[in-house]
Every structure is written in structure tokens, then in C-alpha cells.
Amino acid sequence: MELLAPAGNMDKLKMALLYGADAVYLGGKSFGLRAFSDNFSLEEMEDAVRYAHGLGKKVHVTVNIFPHNADLNGLPEYLTSLRDIHVDAVLIADPGIFSLARQIVPDLPVHISTQANVTNWASAKFWHDAGAKRVVMAREVSLKDVKAIHDKVPVELEGFVHGAMCISYSGRCLLSNYFTENRDSNRGQCVQCCRFKYNVVEEKRPGQYFPVMEDERGTYIFNSKDLCLLPYLPDLYDAGLCSLKIEGRMKSVHYVATVVKVYRQAIDAYERDPEHFRVLPEWVEELEKISHRPYTRGFSVSRPTEADQVYSHSSNTQTHEFIGLVRSYDAERKLALIEQRNHFKVGQTVEFLQPKGRLVRCAVRRILDEDGQDLDAARHAQQVVAVPVDEPLEAYSMMRREMKNHA
């Protein structure tokens, strides 16, 4: 089973791979559906491919907009460049882009994006017969239907298992077009209108806003809960998926690393002993620490109900915040060299999430600056400090603090 993680920039790519992803998906400066992510220039993408391949891992690139004529300008050269820097696959939704890719770079594997809305075996067969290597299932497909597709069509199947859900059909939304000027969600510029607060206005009473529900805050009628299929890992295997995909190219480094590590541990545990697999409480706890909406199982085993929406607010919840990144550990002096990412001070209780090792909890007894002088706090952005930690820590471990302890 491949674990596929989002990479909004090079830092997130590195963390995803170090924390256990087998592959990452990312976008270039054009032709992808996340225009507001940092995204990669071709030079940065080449560095990313080189880094991932050095770890024996893969890079998939999104070319999944629904283009208008003008959007096709430069596409042949872009596809050729992706081939030349040796990306492992491109994700495509539009038949026109697919056709051009098959003509221009016939040896470059094509994965059919979830935006193509593949919900049945006939559609999957169409893409397979046309030359697609993999099909990413629409989020609206149940695991029962995924298995039926797997049994009928000899094509790789990929499915989303964690992250934000969309009120529209696998992301095909026009709300952004209506509420903003020239912000087409199907061409990479969605402003997430589904997270806005909505009220009703009656045409003969302009300016009078009536809540859709009896709530003084209004309601968020399009605001889906976040997907989490960790409890259904055995079912994901049984359905015939070959790749489990995490949403979140615009999410934080903390989010990407935490989710990747949880699913990495779960996949490894299942593959070691499928018969006795169970979801560990510490995995569930980890997924609560990151910024997220309440979780839902989406369409995986039944149709969503009103309980799968969040009607009262659009803000996320989380229990912990990312405050530092471990650069290195001095085993002789038992000091962790930490790059500050948020204010922390002496006396606070913190924990370290490691790429491979166990979770380490301790109190901040001292903070030393680069000259070895004691500080009462690490106040400055990306300030490098040393903190005594008795247990060895891996480089790229994330230092976190429970949010209620932030004083």
C-alpha cells in the first residue's frame, strides 16, 4: 500500500517523506487546482524529484485544472519539462489535457484526478483503455463500489483517506465564481466559499437577514466535516486500493507530518498482523492535536447525513501547537538544538513528535542561546536555541505544546 502525502512546498515535502510517506503530490505554478499554495517552480520541482528519488520515493504532479483555451498555452512545453525532470506521474482530470499528454509525453504515467469524478467501473475502464495507469476515486464512491471497480478493471485505484471534504461533486464547484470576480475554483483559485456564514434574504425585504437555523451566529450550510478513514484501514485494503491519499497541500508542516506518521504506523501495524489490527488510542489522540474540523467517514460505508456537516462555525479545532523544529541532538551534553517556530519559555511542558521514534514529553528546564547564555524564553522567530532533553531526539522532530499551557 502506498501512502501518498500533500506537498505544498519543499519544507512540507521533506517532512512528509521523512515522517513516512511513500510518495508526495505537488503542483507547479500553473495547471493545478491549488493556485494559493506556495507551489513549485520547475527548478524547485527538479530539486524535489531529486530529493525524493534519493530516498527511494516518488513525486506526482497535478495538472488537473479544467482549462479554457487560453489555459492551454504553454502546456506542451510544461509536460515535456515534467518528463525531463523525471516526475513519476501526472494527475489529469480534463480529457483534452489527457489527450495532449498521451501525444506529447506518452511514456509519462498518467493518474486520473478525483476531479474527473470517476464513480463507476465503466468510467474507470474508459480511462484504463485510453492509457491511464491509475484512477483516483471520486470522494462520493463507497468502499463497496471501489471493490466492484477493482474486481472489474485492471487499473490502479487511489482513494482519499484524510483531510478536508468538499460540498460539491469531488470539488467541481462554482460558488467561488459567483461570489468573487475571476476566481474559478475549477482552474485552481477556489476561495472556499463553502466555509462562509450564510443567511436568507427575502427579495422584497433587502437588507434583512434571516438565519437559516435559529442561531444568532447564522449557519454554515455547506461546511463539511473532515474525512478520517483511519478506523476503516482493513476495509481500504479489502476494497483494492493501492494508494491512500492525504488531502492538504495548503495545510501546515505540523499537520502533514502528524497525519503522515499516524497513517504510516497504522499501515505498518496492519501489514505486520492484519488479523489482530486495531486502531490505537494514541493514533486517534495525535489526529486531534492538529488543526481540523470534526471528523467524518464521508461516503465510505454509507451516505453522509446532516451529522456530517458543521452548521455553527467554520473554524478548526486543535489541542496542540507547533513551537519548534529539532535541528540536531548533542548526545554527550543531552542538548537539543531547536529552531523556534512559536514563543515558548522555561517551565512549560512540551513534547517531541519524532519522524520514526516514540513521542517524548518533558519540561523545558533551561533555554540557552547560541553563546550558551540562559534565556527565560525563546521569543524571536526562527531563533536557534538549545534545550536540555534527557532522551535522544531525531533531527526534524517537532516540538509541540498543549495549547492550554500557553501562558
C-alpha cell at 202: 427575502
Burial 311-333 (b: 16+ CB within 10 A, else e): eeeeeeebebbbbbbbeebeeee
- Number of Cβ within 10 Å of residue 198's Cβ equals 16
Any idea which of 8-22, 37-51, 205-219 has the lowest mean pLDDT?
Answer: 205-219
Q: Where are the beta strands (DSSP E) in 7-45?
A: 23-27
- C-alpha to C-alpha distance for 118 and 124, rounded to whole angstroms: 6
Q: What is the pLDDT of residue 35?
A: 56
The string of pLDDT tens digits covering residues 361-396 is 999 999 999 999 999 999 999 999 999 999 999 999
The string of pLDDT tens digits covering residues 82-122 is 999 999 999 999 999 999 999 999 999 999 999 999 999 99
Quickly name the fold that domain 2-172+223-308 has.
TIM Barrel (3.20.20)
In the chain, where the domains are located: 2-172+223-308, 320-405
Asked whether 234 and 274 are in contact (CB, 8 A), the reply is yes
Residue-averaged pLDDT of the chain = 90
Task: Indicate if the pLDDT at residue 348 is higher than 70.
Answer: yes
Residue 392, classed as helix, strand or coil, is coil
Query: Which residue type is seen at 29?
Result: K
C-alpha cell at 274: 492484519
Q: What is the pLDDT of residue 90?
A: 98
Closest CA to 367 of 342, 351, 347, 352: 347
Q: What is the pLDDT of residue 31?
A: 84
DSSP 90: E
Quickly name the fold that domain 320-405 has.
Elongation Factor Tu (Ef-tu); domain 3 (2.40.30)
- Number of Cβ within 10 Å of residue 301's Cβ equals 12
Task: Indicate if the pLDDT at residue 275 is higher than 50.
Answer: yes
Task: Indicate if the pLDDT at residue 164 is higher than 90.
Answer: no
Beta-strand pair 23-27/58-62: parallel
Residue 14 parent element (H or E): helix 10-18
Distances (CA, A) of 86 to 31, 81, 83, 310: 18, 9, 5, 42
The string of pLDDT tens digits covering residues 308-325 is 666 566 667 899 999 999
What is the pTM for the complete model shown? 0.86
Q: How far is CA 26 from the centre of its chain?
A: 10
Q: What is the pLDDT of residue 407?
A: 41
